[in-house]
Amino acid sequence: MEIFIDYFGLSFIQSQLPRFWNGFQLTIAIAAASMIGAVTWGLLLVGPRMSGIKPIVWPLMAYVEFIRNTPLILQIYLSYFGLPLIGLPLSAFICGVIAIASQHGAFLCEIIRSGIEAVSKQQWEGALALGMTKRKAKYNVILPQALLKVVPPIGNQLVILIKDTSLVSAIGIIELTLSGKMVIERSGASFEVFLFIALLYLILTTTFGLILRFVEIYLRERQ
């Protein structure tokens, strides 16, 4: 057993566990904060985006398309180096969360919009023909169906969000990826450290994926 542990460099990883644990916690904190931010931002955007009022829709479309077609790493740099220039000296953590939330919020806005549009027009007409008010039709007929359609793609997007938190290592937040890099560079340890980091990410994304699967099943059975 000892030989096995030494052969794979596990005793070294064991000695560095507190560092990885700190990084792991920070990754979870960034992911959780960005998820809350992204979902809120996406929900806030989708109403005006679908309002049909051109002076509101056009700038929103431009924002969403611009964000979706540029790399997240540059958005992180822009918020980390750019926000202080306009008088907002925020911490690296908050800048990272703002950048991730604004990118994924734009994606979520599009996902929710296409989910609502995918509920067919007949459902609207049917609900109105039954004498429902527009408000009632929206909340009792359209949105519940849209929710079912939207949960799986939102889940995928949030898994991507978890993986994207690795990018904030570029602005010096010592989360999981950067903690691995620092351990390697300070100790000259070998690549097994990064295999371990990869395993931790895998556990994180898989667990989250399973939770989402349960949510999906729960919602489907309720309807």
Partner 1 sequence: MFDVFFSNLPYFMKGAVQTVWLALAGVGFGTIFGLIIGVANASMGGGVAKFINVYVFLIRGIPVLVWMFLAYYMLPQLGLIIGDLFAVIGSLILYTGAFVSEIARGAVLSVPKHQIDSAKALGMNKFNILRLVIIPQAMKMSIPSLLNNSVMMIKATAYVSVVGVWELTYAAREVVERTLAAFQVFFGVMCIYFLICYPLTIVASQLEKRYSYEH
Judged by CB, which is closer to partner 1: 5, or 202? 202
- 169 interacts with partner 1 by CB under 8 A: yes
Amino acid identity, position 63: Y
Judged by CB, which is closer to partner 1: 90, or 132? 90
Judged by CB, which is closer to partner 1: 45, or 178? 178
- 74 interacts with partner 1 by CB under 8 A: yes
- 182 interacts with partner 1 by CB under 8 A: no
Q: Contacting partner 1 (CB under 8 A), which of 16, 34, 157, 177?
A: 177
In order, the DSSP letters of the chain are: -HHHHHHTTHHHHHHTHHHHHHHHHHHHHHHHHHHHHHHHHHHHHHHHHTS--HHHHHHHHHHHHHHHTS-HHHHHHIIIIIGGGGT----HHHHHHHHHHHHHHHHHHHHHHHHHHHS-HHHHHHHHHTT--HHHHIIIIIHHHHHHHHHHHHHHHHHHHHHHGGGGGGGT---HHHHHHHHHHHH---THHHHHHHHHHHHHHHHHHHHHHHHHHHHHHH-
Judged by CB, which is closer to partner 1: 138, or 209? 209
Q: Contacting partner 1 (CB under 8 A), which of 1, 3, 53, 85?
A: 85
Q: Contacting partner 1 (CB under 8 A), which of 34, 75, 102, 179?
A: 75
Stretch that binds partner 1, among 15-23, 43-51, 131-139, 183-191 (CB under 8 A): 183-191
Tell me which residues touch partner 1 (CB under 8 A).
65-66, 68-75, 77-78, 81-82, 85-86, 163-167, 169-170, 177, 180-181, 184, 190-191, 194-195, 197-198, 201-202, 205-206, 209
